[in-house]
Copies of this chain bind each other. A is one copy, B any other.
Amino acid sequence: MAKQKKQPRPKAQTPKGFRDYMGAEVEERNAMLGQIAEVYRLYGFDPLETSAVETVEALGKFLPDVDRPNEGVFAWEEDGDWLALRYDLTAPLARVAAQYRNDLPSPYRRFAMGPVWRNEKPGPGRFRQFYQCDADTVGSASPAADAEICAMLADTLEAVGIERGDYIVRVNNRKVLNGVLECMGLEGEGTRDAVLRTIDKFDKVGEAGVRELLGKGRKDASGAFIEGVGLSAAQADPVVAFLTSKAASAEETFANLRVAVGESAVGAEGIAELEQIAGLLEAQGYGPDRIEVDPSVVRGLGYYTGPVFEAELTFEITDDKGRKQQFGSVAGGGRYDDLVKRFTGQAVPATGVSIGVDRLLAALRAKGRVGGGTDGPVIVTVMDRDRMAEYQAMVGQLRAAGIRAECYLGNPKNFGNQLKYADKRRSPLAVIQGGVEAERGVVQLKDLVLGAKLAEGLTREEWAEQPAQVEVPLERLVEEVRKMLDRTL
């Protein structure tokens, strides 16, 4: 080891906006990702794992036209090339679809799960590294591909433990809105984006709020003034009509949409696609209790070109301040026909979905669907450090029987510390064998689930008197431990 130089000690700190995941948090997420992967596989999607690092050029959107590209990505220069951490799983997919286009099956159906990084200001519950879990079909223009993604999303939510009735997958089509704008003579890109952003706020600000935002502007709750799009009330009417066109039945909704798009060809095309999607889903038994057409769904991302969808959890949770609120969106996606074209010049139709892993996991926790079990190891305590080999032999027997177990490896002098350790590890059971027990060929088994509240500060003698402790012959160690575990778990 290098000689310690006189310099200040480094700070042991997770970088700002990042966090560590431990124990059950990791296992619960992995278990959920495993369940999702199973559904994605069942649907015929194949896994893809790209590296965390991409060229800034391939990522697009964030080109290094300034000294350092710092708009939303973590980027750095490397031998003259700009590299960056991926900010989503779609940009790498577009790169892969272009790079291997001669070898990949077409359509290329892939799923991907892994962390993505955003160089954004961190906030409460808002981290700069988080998991996404995507599935996409690249190379299919068929609305059947969009319908399938919606069906899979519903199946996935149920597979991880969200019950039917607790979620809704909502489908819309950007083309319908484009038709509405076309029919109004408002096709400019800037206006369209501004209208999209406004519609996206419908959930929060309601119809009146949207009218204000489409017009002159609006004061938000904090009193700040939000600039409006600048449409007249007459111009805003068709947008609001579109936005509120959801009716009791899909048929009525489609009739309302037809009025809203007027003579627009793109609008009619969008409605036809939506009808096809709805028809396919209906035929497969995905009724409006699970998947519905809802014209108020926009999805922020600029690159969507057709159908868009999102999954919302409809049950209420209680927030930090004790207020009840809807859980909200946990997944979204849509059709983006132009992403691969960036690389190849050829349009490649693609559609897909991304699940917000952390939000979905939070929802499952809120519903009590994950977490809470005692899953720590059985702890074989050390009464006599010269008999380490015998304690290890006990551990070996337990492990050979598939029982999670370990020998206490800290300083065994203070028996209380061993029990505190078992407590911190959420251990269900401690095995204890002192010299006297060893001579008699027995061990003590202590049920820590029952004993937990009494553990602190007890001497070994007091401990032995608790009814949760039993003495068993050493040769019956495995079966007696299993019996106790079966009782307590």
- Listed in ascending order, the chain A residues whose CB lies under 8 Å from chain B are 1-3, 9-16, 18-23, 25-27, 30, 41-44, 46-55, 57-58, 60, 74-76, 78, 81, 83, 85, 95-96, 98-99, 104-107, 109-110, 115, 117, 119, 128-129, 137, 139-142, 144-145, 147-148, 151, 189, 279-280, 283-285, 302-303, 305, 338, 342-345, 377, 379, 388-390, 392-393, 396, 399, 402-407, 409-411, 421, 424-425
Residues of the B chain whose Cβ atoms lie less than 8 Å from the Cβ of A44: 377, 379, 404-406, 425
Among A23, A76, A411, max chain B CB count under 10 A is at: A76
* In contact, A409 and B54 (Cβ under 8 angstroms): no
* In contact, B148 and A392 (Cβ under 8 angstroms): yes
* In contact, B107 and A410 (Cβ under 8 angstroms): yes
Q: CA separation between A326 and B424, bound complex, in Å?
A: 44
Given contacts A20-B96, A83-B15, A95-B12, contact A424 B105 (CB under 8 A): yes
* In contact, A48 and B20 (Cβ under 8 angstroms): yes
Give the nearest-CB partner of A409 in chain B: B140
* In contact, A21 and B42 (Cβ under 8 angstroms): no
Give the nearest-CB partner of A140 in chain B: B409
* In contact, A15 and B53 (Cβ under 8 angstroms): yes
* In contact, A392 and B280 (Cβ under 8 angstroms): yes
Residues of the B chain whose Cβ atoms lie less than 8 Å from the Cβ of A15: 51, 53-55, 58, 81, 83
Copy total for this chain: 2
Residues of the B chain whose Cβ atoms lie less than 8 Å from the Cβ of A42: 399, 402-405
Residues of the B chain whose Cβ atoms lie less than 8 Å from the Cβ of A85: 52-53
A-B contact pairs, 10 of them (CB 8 A): A11-B55, A11-B57, A11-B343, A12-B96, A13-B58, A16-B81, A20-B96, A46-B425, A137-B409, A142-B388
* In contact, A344 and B9 (Cβ under 8 angstroms): yes
Residues of the B chain whose Cβ atoms lie less than 8 Å from the Cβ of A393: 283-284
* In contact, B279 and A389 (Cβ under 8 angstroms): yes
Q: CA separation between A53 and B23, bound complex, in Å?
A: 20
Give the nearest-CB partner of A21 in chain B: B49
* In contact, B75 and A49 (Cβ under 8 angstroms): no
* In contact, B389 and A421 (Cβ under 8 angstroms): no
Give the nearest-CB partner of A26 in chain B: B47
Residues of the B chain whose Cβ atoms lie less than 8 Å from the Cβ of A399: 42-43
Give the nearest-CB partner of A60 in chain B: B10
Among A44, A83, A410, max chain B CB count under 10 A is at: A44
A22 touches which one: B27, B48, B283 (CB < 8 A)? B48
* In contact, A284 and B9 (Cβ under 8 angstroms): no
Give the nearest-CB partner of A279 in chain B: B389
Given contacts A53-B15, A410-B106, contact A47 B60 (CB under 8 A): no
Give the nearest-CB partner of A284 in chain B: B396
Q: CA separation between A27 and B25, bound complex, in Å?
A: 22
Q: Given known contacts A44-B404, A44-B406, A53-B74, what 16 new A-B pairs fall within 8 Å (CB)?
A: A11-B343, A12-B99, A13-B55, A13-B58, A14-B51, A21-B48, A21-B49, A42-B402, A43-B377, A52-B85, A53-B85, A106-B410, A107-B409, A140-B410, A148-B392, A280-B392
Residues of the B chain whose Cβ atoms lie less than 8 Å from the Cβ of A3: 189
* In contact, A342 and B74 (Cβ under 8 angstroms): no
Give the nearest-CB partner of A142 in chain B: B409
Q: CA separation between A10 and B285, bound complex, in Å?
A: 43
Residues of the B chain whose Cβ atoms lie less than 8 Å from the Cβ of A19: 51
Looking at the assembled complex, report how far the CB atom of A227 sits from the nearest CB atom of chain B, in whole angstroms. 21
* In contact, B389 and A139 (Cβ under 8 angstroms): no
Residues of the B chain whose Cβ atoms lie less than 8 Å from the Cβ of A404: 41-44
Q: CA separation between A119 and B137, bound complex, in Å?
A: 34
